[in-house]
Structure 1
Amino acid sequence: MFIGAQISLYPMTSDFVGVITTSLSALDPWRGQLRIETDDISTLLVGPPEAVLPAIRDLFVAAAKTGVHVTLHATLSRGCPGEPDDPMCHTAVLTGPLAPIEERKALAHEAVGRAPVLDQAVSAQFSLYTLGIDQHMTEIYGCIDFLKSSGVFDRSKNFCTRLHGDAGAVMATLEQAFLRFGPPQGHVTIDLTLSANSPSPR
């Protein structure tokens, strides 16, 4: 399986270069588990989701801790049939048959309960796409049900769901949405935007 994310970080400050370059050091602990490639548009992270999502979290939190308004856009994908299998992407969660949805929701809640508290509020909006399966709406509705009881659900919006809370819990919720819904060997994608320190009232 191939698992990864294309991410772009946008600090809303004249010192955007300084914020980005300083925040990149937050990826250092994850470099042994990820393949990281950067160009002038985005940074690619390839590896197991247990490293990809926390790496995105740590990068974003590092930027948000500067106090400036910062956003991050990410496209996450697992199981794309157009990409080669990569052993570094192996994760035990995505093996075996598709478990009953209530069992997966329970496991997702347990994982979110173990999320670290990072003392950084973030907002997120995202859309989940479970591709190439007839029961895709069953999976999406199951995910929405999980989100509504995750502790960080804010509201439903057109085409997406909004989350708000501590970065640890928000990113753990996103990781579980990415892992637990859709067939283990299926193609699943997420379109994600994160925001922190926005001057706009919620």
Structure 2
Amino acid sequence: MTNQQCSESRIAGCSFSVHPMSDNFIEVITHALKSVDKSKVWMETDDVTTTIRGKLVHVFDVTKSIFIHAAKTGEHVAFQATYSLGCPGDSAGDVYMAEDDIPANNTQIKDIKQPVAAKFSLYPLGGGNYMDVIMKQIEAMRKHVDVSHAHYSTRLDGESIKVLNGLEQVFNATVDGGSNHTVMTVSMSANSPSHKGANEHE
């Protein structure tokens, strides 16, 4: 049996999939990928998912941007992602840890208006006072998006950039709260016919 031990690596990662519900789904995905600056992360795509690794700030920056660029086409787009930081780590992406902390895509996406519905679940696997941290951050997010309970998750409705920024804040706060291995799963939908105005915010 392999002995898995915790790593001191601060490499963050995200395995994600984008699913445009459209006949031109290839064009939607390729346009989104071409529109995003990916120079500050390590990225690999296979026949199931795309994986991004590097500093947490850049992992979130790139995944936010890919989703928002895909969703702004007006097509119904679904996004599934698993973010992770901590044990067990690997060396892929080490070189990108030397990057600065300035998001490469923030200026392009920060003013894009795109309502979304999302659900997320947070798993602090390495200890820490995580329940207080989670509840505090969820309460803080209520200032910007609608927050409601869902089975096995928390639901968020609002502008995509506010939802995604909120998720990044929750993840960071959980890490800062003492979790040495943090995992977060996210499901997000934009332009769904079934939203029926649920995401309309002033």
Q: Same fold (TM over 0.5)?
A: yes
For structure 2, which runs of at least 5 residues remain unmatched after alignment?
A: 1-9, 102-108
What displacement does 1:141 show? 2.6
**TM, length-normalised to structure 2:** 0.78
Matched, 1:58 2:65: yes
The RMSD of aligned alpha carbons is 2.4
Question: Which residue is 1:22 aligned to?
Answer: 31
What displacement does 1:117 show? 2.5
Aligned partner (choices 41, 47, 59) of residue 40 of structure 1: 47
Question: Which residue is 2:105 aligned to?
Answer: none
**Sequence identity percentage:** 34
Contact 1:121 1:167 in 2 (8 A): yes
Superposed structure 1 runs of 4+ greater than 6 Å apart: 90-93
Amino acid at match of 2:122: L
Name the one with the larger helix percent.
Answer: 1
> Structure 1 residues 90, 73: CA separation in 2 closer, same or farther (over 3 Å shift)?
farther
Distance 2:159 2:50 in 1: 24
Aligned partner (choices 174, 177, 182) of residue 181 of structure 1: 174
Distance 1:170 1:136 in 2: 20
Question: Which residue is 1:71 aligned to?
Answer: 78
> Structure 1 residues 90, 164: CA separation in 2 closer, same or farther (over 3 Å shift)?
farther
> Structure 1 residues 190, 59: CA separation in 2 closer, same or farther (over 3 Å shift)?
same
**TM, length-normalised to structure 1:** 0.78
> Structure 1 residues 153, 84: CA separation in 2 closer, same or farther (over 3 Å shift)?
farther
Amino acid at match of 2:21: M
Distance 1:51 1:82 in 2: 17
Aligned positions, number: 178
Contact 2:115 2:190 in 1 (8 A): yes
Amino acid at match of 1:15: N
For structure 1, which runs of at least 5 residues remain unmatched after alignment?
A: 94-114
Question: Which residue is 2:106 aligned to?
Answer: none
What displacement does 1:20 show? 1.2
Question: Which residue is 2:15 aligned to?
Answer: 6
What displacement does 1:163 show? 1.4
Amino acid at match of 1:18: E
